Amino acid sequence: ISPRQKMAGGHLLVFLLGLAASDAVRPCDIYQHDGTPCVAAHSTVRALFSAYRGSLYVVRRQSDNKTTEIGLNSNGFADSATQDTFCAKTNCTIIRIFDQSPKANHLHLAHGGGAVHTPDVGVNATKDPLHISGNRVYSAYFEGGMGYRNDKTSGVAKGDEPESIYMVTSGKHYNDKCCFDYGNAETNNLDDGRGVMECVYFGNKRGWDGGGGGKGPWVMADLEKGLWAGSGRNPNNTAIEAVFVTAMVKGRAGGFALKGGDAQGGTLRTLYNGPRPRRYNPMKKQGAIILGIGGDNSNWAVGTFFEGAVTSGFSSDAADDAVHANIVAAQYGH
């Protein structure tokens, strides 16, 4: 019996929100208590499990091609001092982002695919410094032609299996190109047709269905051959206007949900929760993981990635709210 089954309704919400407020708890601890454990957890800024003690990512410096791992400081945030010393007077790129979950679904530089045949390059490791809970860290700042993936994963949803995906991204750095995605994609780097992907997307590219209300940027689902703000045009999916954004997509048999919110405060909004678009049911997810690109290596989008996770199972609303509250409590930008 999962922790979620042992609690009901408001009791679960109160319990999970209590976890979220604790300095010792991170998003994947919340999902674990929800019975929807993380099967992938990636970040350049902080640990996503309270017990994680490994490295966050690997940088390569241009001057001599040497590499080093960037781990955690004593507070559970990225050890930027090590990076600053290693990358002094030269340029560094991020070449690997470690999976913090036990599944070891690490993200590597993406190979070429059906849309762009050449391999992608890594993001500039020192392009975008910021503070989070008083700790100086760096984002993964995508400027086009940059992307990461893992085509041989473990534990990631396939077919019509349920999953939940979230990321924290920048609400100020985006475009209308394809596709700033994080999540489940093709294992062969090709466009294999409708329903083979399930990624959270952020940007102002109009979806194949006409997109959301207003001019964006929107939280949408990339389901392959379509960015979807709902099952059709969805005027209720309006722009998330914030410096830092929490973005979520959750998939279940027959339906999916989209959520978004200001990662510095406020509540999580449900932007859509309903049936799949026509011709996307059942889903045919393949289980690769991508970041910053489309499933066929469409790599023209820009965006910023701070953290994200993929779960096994369709998370509860209480868990979603608690994860968002934990992100807010992390104090992005402070």
* Candidates 120, 224, 307, 320; catalytic one: 224
Residue the block writes with tokens 């970041």: 291
Q: Using an 8 Å Cβ cutoff, are 59 and 73 in contact?
A: no
pLDDT tens-place values along the chain, 334 residues long? 455 555 555 566 677 667 666 668 999 999 999 999 999 999 999 999 999 999 999 999 999 999 999 999 999 999 999 999 999 999 999 999 999 999 999 999 999 999 999 999 999 999 999 999 999 999 999 999 999 999 999 999 999 999 999 999 999 999 999 999 999 999 999 999 999 999 999 999 986 666 899 999 999 999 999 999 999 899 999 999 999 999 999 999 999 999 999 999 999 999 999 999 999 999 999 999 999 999 999 999 999 999 999 999 999 999 999 999 999 999 999 9
C-alpha to C-alpha distance for 124 and 200, rounded to whole angstroms: 23
Whether the ω angle into residue 179 lies within 30 degrees of 0, i.e. cis, is yes
* Candidates 120, 181, 186, 296; catalytic one: 296
183, 185, 189, 192: CA torsion to nearest 10: -150
Alpha-carbon distances, residue 21 vs 168, 211, 222, 228 (angstroms): 18, 34, 31, 32
**Residue 151 falls in the annotated catalytic set:** no
**Residue 224 falls in the annotated catalytic set:** yes
What count of Cα atoms within 13 Å lies in the side-chain half-sphere of residue 205?
24
The pTM of the full predicted model, rounded to 2 decimals, is 0.95
Look at the chain and count its residues: 334
